[in-house]
Structure 1
Amino acid sequence: MRRSKSAIIISSSSLLSLLFLLDLILSPNLAIGSKRRVHVPDELDDVIDDEEDEVWKQWGMKSKPSHDSFDPPPLDLLESNPYAFEAEMLKRHSGPSIGFVKLQPGVRRSSDKVVEIARKWSKLLKTGSVNARFTGFDPNTVMYTMESGQDITELKEFVLSQPEAYEIKIGEQIYRRPGDPPLDEFIEKLRSEHKADDQVSKEETGYLKDEL
């Protein structure tokens, strides 16, 4: 009986020791690989975050144009062949573009006729995969808008191939058919011709009256 009691006492003490060790092992502070909880306070008014990343700073901001992306043609080309230099400048044009086309002077047009011309040009360019839109501006002018300035060369060639157009302005440059004078000179020439015709008509009318 003494042996059985001592065995029971030893077993009880061993069980207590085992429970104590298990408690230590399973403790959150001593367990291997356990994650400690982080307490985040509700009051964050005094917290200063000076590590704002660049992505957040640029969020919603418009991208600034890169001045290094423009690659102008060599100036030697300007001296040797100005027309080739001009063509290369047009090819390097990028971004949206807005400009005006002057119609042939000396022709009387209604506003409906100008709108009809603008619509016809818009449809013709769309079939050529050039994204441009024409709008009637006044009896002598059509306005154009383009999303991609890289098609500006095709636009210029198209406009100058149309019989209703006299010149097109792209930026600060004005383009006409080879041999055509500036618009103001051409208008002055037309006025002089009309005055001469009127004078001839008056002289012929007076001669007929004298004959009668």
Structure 2
Amino acid sequence: MCSRYLIIFGFVLIYTLNVTFAAYGDHKHRDPIDYTDDDVNRLFEQWEENDEDGSSKDDEDDPRKHQPKRPLTGKDPEKLFAQMKKGQATMLTALVAGNPTKRETEQIALIWWMGLRNALYDVHKFVGDDNKIVFGIDDGSRIYEIKEFLINQPECYEVIIDQQTFPGRGSKPTKSKLKEL
């Protein structure tokens, strides 16, 4: 009599374990790194089926969804140029005011380069002639921000970007120079 209960208990135990592990499925215990493309697609479909209103919450919170798309226009050539050069390496040339020596130009270039680096601009400097500094910029979309920094320096005569010249503070005669004339 005891053996009958033991056999029935064994079958019930095996049946319970089988049903329990079959309900969880094999995908519950797998590492996500081992998923195939089909597994990921099935999970995505299940996720979409279980979505209540058919749209994800992220779409509603996305601020870019409500912004109108702006085409590139020629109204502001600086912004247009910056958008065209986004992610591309570009260069600009800065001329130092006065008649500096090459050593003075290198010192000024170092000061400007450190100021740009401290402002988190990724630039490279090359000193050319006695009064010419060439700046290489990894992201061309920021070139006009760098130009604004440079033309506001008192030692800057002018900045040249893509054959356009922008006068710096050093190109304007000061009051002491005007009195000398």
Name the TM-score, length of structure 2 as normaliser: 0.50
Asked which structure has the greater CA Rg, the reply is 1
Greater helix proportion: 2
Larger RCO (alpha carbons 8 Å, 6+ apart): 2
